[in-house]
Structure formats: C-alpha cells, structure tokens
C-alpha cells in the first residue's frame, strides 16, 4: 500500500496534463449560470428561466425562502423573488452547491458507499462552516458553506479513477485512505479547472494542514478546519488547532467544543437538512 497513493496521484496528474484525466467538469447548470452572469446583458428574467429549466434545482432554491438568508419572506414567494433577494453571487454559490452532487455516477457498492459517506461528511462540514461563519466571523455564510462543501471535492475523481488504475475495487478502508491522502492535491486540480476563487482552492489544498497559523482575523480555511473537527467529533485534535484559537480565542472565557456545538446545534441541523444531508 505504500506506493498506492503516489502511483494513483501520478496517474491522475499525468492524465490531467494530457487532457485525459477523469476530473469532473463544472456542472452544466452552474457553468451556464456563470456565463450568463458574466454577460452585461443578463437579466433577472433570463436567470429565472435558466433555473426553471432544472425543476429539482428550482425546488431546492425555493426552500431558501424560509431560511435565515431571507428573513421575513412572505408565504408563496416566487422563484424570481427568491433569486432577486438572494443576490447573484450568493445564488451562484448555492447553485454550485446543489449541482456538485450529480457529478458522480457509480454502481459498484463499495465505491458508492464511500462516495456517499464522503459526501455526507462534506454536507455536515458545510453546515458547520455556514454556522461558524455567522457565529464567530464576519465572513459571508454562503462562501463558508461552499468552502466546507468543496474542501473534499478531490475525493470524487479519486473514487472514479481508482478501479481503472488499480484493476479492481479496493477495500473500503483502502479507498478511504486514498481519499484522505489525495483529496487535497486532486481538489486543487478540480477547483482550479473550475476557475473558482483562490480562497476556495486553498480550503481544499490546506484541508488537513492542521498546524497552519497566520495573523488574525480568522479566514475560510480556519472555519473549514474547525468545522471538520466539530463534525467528526475529534475534540482532541480540535483543541490543538491554531484555527480553533483564531475562532474562539484563549483563556477562561473561551468556548469549549461542547458549548459551541450546543450553541449552533439547531442551525447546523437546519442547514444540513436543507443541503440534503442524511442523518446517521
């Protein structure tokens, strides 16, 4: 197993450089929305028509009428009104959040099980990231939520590539190890190819660089690292993180992980459910 991650990493990089890598492309609806928003002639009506053409996505966005993002919305609000009140950048992030899930198709039960576990963990990380951004920073909730979601996006091509590279389906434990060791590097490839903002790319690249330290204020990487530990329940690691100190500080008045989970537990459950997460 020692050469297994390095071999697969080389294979992925080589195929990517040759243009043959199984790196997922940005979802079509997200790409079309990005192109539309880049046009000086884009209108609210055009954006609404595009999103109406994807009924599951439209239904997903309508749920935000009752979310903390749109406080005070009246009953029966239309999709166009939701889009107008969300704002285009926030809308762009939410559409990408919804459409990423549909990039992956796999019938093998082991690969599918690992994908679902990684995806559910990413949704929980996204929910924690959204709530931490509101509770402890001034970072936009939708940026933090997307950062939490894409920090493990590199697992997708790892899971997709591994069977053809290795010649057989690895065990669940082997596949989880591969995802952990390769997700950051492959995630940078995916998010760079999607031309996402650099802070989101860095959240993937530094997802497990637990000793990272930097001057205040806290940034998206701090939020995502703390969110991952809160979601996994690894309080021993969490309390050692410079990112934890960035968010909650030190001393007698600092929050404990248990207190923080209690403080944001209800909104975390709300966002997790809204994102489509499945409780264990």
List the alpha helices (DSSP H) in the chain. Answer: 3-17, 28-38, 44-52, 55-62, 79-86, 88-100, 109-136, 141-150, 155-166, 172-193, 198-205, 220-232, 235-238, 242-248, 257-274
What's the CATH fold of domain 105-280?
Hypothetical protein af1432 (1.10.3210)
Regions of the chain short of the pLDDT cut 50: 1-2, 252
What's CA 178's distance to the chain center, in Å? 19
**Cα distance between residue 51 and residue 99, in whole Å:** 12
Region(s) of the chain under CATH 1.10.3210.10: 105-280
Judge if pTM exceeds 0.75.
yes
Q: What integer pLDDT is reported at residue 162 of this predicted model?
A: 76
Start-to-end CA span in the chain (Å): 30
Q: What integer pLDDT is reported at residue 1 of this predicted model?
A: 42
Exposed (0-12), middle (13-18) or buried (19+): which is 212, by Cβ within 10 Å? middle
Q: What integer pLDDT is reported at residue 214 of this predicted model?
A: 93
Q: What integer pLDDT is reported at residue 2 of this predicted model?
A: 46
Q: How many CA atoms lie within 13 A of 110 on its CB side?
A: 12
Q: What integer pLDDT is reported at residue 78 of this predicted model?
A: 87
**Cα distance between residue 181 and residue 204, in whole Å:** 12
Looking at every residue in the chain, the average pLDDT score rounds to: 85
**Cα distance between residue 269 and residue 194, in whole Å:** 29
Tell me which residue has tokens 């997307």. Answer: 146
């Amino acid at each position: 197993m020692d050469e297994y991650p390095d071999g697969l990493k080389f294979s992925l990089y080589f195929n990517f450089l040759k243009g043959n890598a199984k790196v997922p492309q940005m979802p079509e609806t997200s790409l079309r929305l990005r192109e539309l928003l880049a046009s000086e002639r884009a209108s609210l009506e055009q954006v609404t028509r595009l999103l109406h053409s994807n009924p599951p996505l439209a239904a997903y966005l309508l749920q935000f009428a009752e979310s903390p993002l749109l406080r005070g919305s009246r009953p029966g609000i239309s999709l166009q009104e939701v889009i107008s009140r969300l704002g285009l950048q926030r809308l762009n992030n939410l559409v990408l959040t919804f459409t990423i899930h549909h990039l992956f198709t796999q019938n093998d039960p082991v690969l599918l099980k690992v994908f679902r576990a990684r995806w559910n963990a990413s949704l929980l990380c996204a929910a924690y990231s959204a709530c931490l951004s509101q509770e402890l920073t001034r970072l936009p909730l939708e940026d933090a939520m997307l950062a939490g979601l894409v920090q493990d996006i590199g697992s997708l091509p790892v899971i997709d590539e591994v069977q053809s590279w290795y010649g057989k389906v690895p065990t669940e434990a082997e596949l989880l190890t591969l995802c952990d060791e390769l997700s950051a590097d492959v995630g940078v490839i995916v998010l760079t190819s999607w031309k996402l903002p650099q802070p989101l790319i860095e959240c993937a690249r530094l997802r497990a660089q637990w000793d990272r330290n930097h001057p205040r204020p806290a940034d998206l990487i701090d939020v995502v690292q703390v969110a991952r530990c809160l979601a996994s329940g690894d309080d021993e690691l969490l309390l050692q993180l410079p990112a934890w100190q960035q968010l909650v500080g030190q001393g007698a008045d600092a929050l404990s992980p248990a207190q923080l989970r209690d403080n944001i537990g209800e909104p975390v459950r709300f966002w997790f459910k809204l994102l489509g997460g499945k409780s264990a």
